[in-house]
Structure 1
Amino acid sequence: MPEPRPPGPNDIRLRKILDDTLVPPRWPEGFVMRGFETTDALAFHTLLTTVFDDGSDGPFDEWWPRIANDAEFDPALCFLVIDRKGLLAAAALCWTRAFVKDLAVHPEARGQGIAEALMWHTFAVFRARGSAHVDLKTNTVENAAAVRLYERLGMTPVAWEG
């Protein structure tokens, strides 16, 4: 089972214990969550490129086969948030081992609670699958706002090895 990329400067691994503190997601008005279909792959890659803008995912024709063929990829663990215009506003891609690989919210859709709702949804899905916790990696400097969100959701730092 592949591990996430090794930690870089200021990277942190956070964990949410899936206990009785879980609450149902509250989707902001005008946004709906739906499941992933392979026809969504290009839009999802475009969102990742827009949000992260670091080139780490590479071009679509390299990224998609790498994701789709990964042993931990399950399309049922990719959650899309669509805005009232029918555009992809946010998405979460999780690995089967209860690890949030990517969480991206389009800049125009930020500040409305979409990331929080996506995380609560993710927690509920993994709890229903029998997972004891959900982990993710983020950067305390580059993603300080995300770290604050994750901490509000009850996520706490754990050793990189999990």
Structure 2
Amino acid sequence: MAGRRVIRLRRSLAGPGPEPVWPAGIRPIPFEPERHAGQVHALLVEAYSRGGGTVEPFAIWWPSLRGDSEYDPALVFIAADGAGEVLGVAQCWTSAFVKDLAVAPSMRRQGLGSALLHHAFRVFRERGAGEIALKVDADNPSGALRLYRSLGFEEVEAYRLD
């Protein structure tokens, strides 16, 4: 059967959750669109260059993102080093959906993806969401599916995209 296999996952936000644990030297910073949009896009391009997703060229991606009815700059969670380089992003929609999660290759397997997601869980809990969802390519080479399952995400459905 042709096409990508996509898995939709969901996680309950009931009850308190753990606080994010940020890797040494990394901290969450507020997303400033004028300052960070290019860095976020570059990180997504790098993250998806080995598979697991796609991202349009910046000239298409940024206007499309900004113009989406579910876009809220307060839901673009970024983490940076002391020099301000964006090393991780969780781009979420207002519907408590994680649109993109990307971590720089140099920071993988150090807890940054988990920290970004725990941060998102807390924000959506505070906004009154009962659950959070996302989609992932079944063949994502970055270990994303393993990460999501370790954080309590459960499969809702799987389907193929042609």
Shared fold, TM over 0.5? yes
Q: Which residue of 2 aligns with 1:44?
A: 40
Q: Which residue of 1 aligns with 2:54?
A: 56
Change (3 A) 1:144 1:91: closer
Matched AA of 2:12: I
Please give the root-mean-square deviation of Cα atoms over the aligned residues, in Å. Answer: 1.8
C-alpha separation in 2, matches of 1:88 and 1:123: 20
Please report how far the alpha carbon of residue 160 of structure 1 lies from its aligned counterpart in structure 2 after TM superposition: 6.2
What pairs up with 1:68-147 in 2 under 5 angstroms?
A: 68-143=66-141, 145-147=143-145
After the TM superposition, list the runs of 4 or more consecutive aligned residues in structure 1 that deviate by more than 4 angstroms.
Answer: none
Please report how far the alpha carbon of residue 28 of structure 1 lies from its aligned counterpart in structure 2 after TM superposition: 1.1
Determine if the alignment matches structure 1 residue 16 to structure 2 residue 14.
no
Percent of aligned pairs sharing the same letter: 42
Classify the secondary structure of the residue corresponding to 1:94: strand
Classify the secondary structure of the residue corresponding to 1:84: coil
The higher-RCO structure (CA 8 Å, 6+ apart) is 2
C-alpha separation in 2, matches of 1:140 and 1:51: 16
Q: Which residue of 2 aligns with 1:31?
A: 26
Please report how far the alpha carbon of residue 61 of structure 1 lies from its aligned counterpart in structure 2 after TM superposition: 1.2
Matched AA of 1:37: E
Please report how far the alpha carbon of residue 85 of structure 1 lies from its aligned counterpart in structure 2 after TM superposition: 3.0
Change (3 A) 1:144 1:32: closer
| TM-score, normalised relative to structure 1 | 0.88
Structure 2: which 5+ residue stretches go unaligned? none
| TM-score, normalised relative to structure 2 | 0.88
Please report how far the alpha carbon of residue 10 of structure 1 lies from its aligned counterpart in structure 2 after TM superposition: 2.5
Classify the secondary structure of the residue corresponding to 1:91: strand
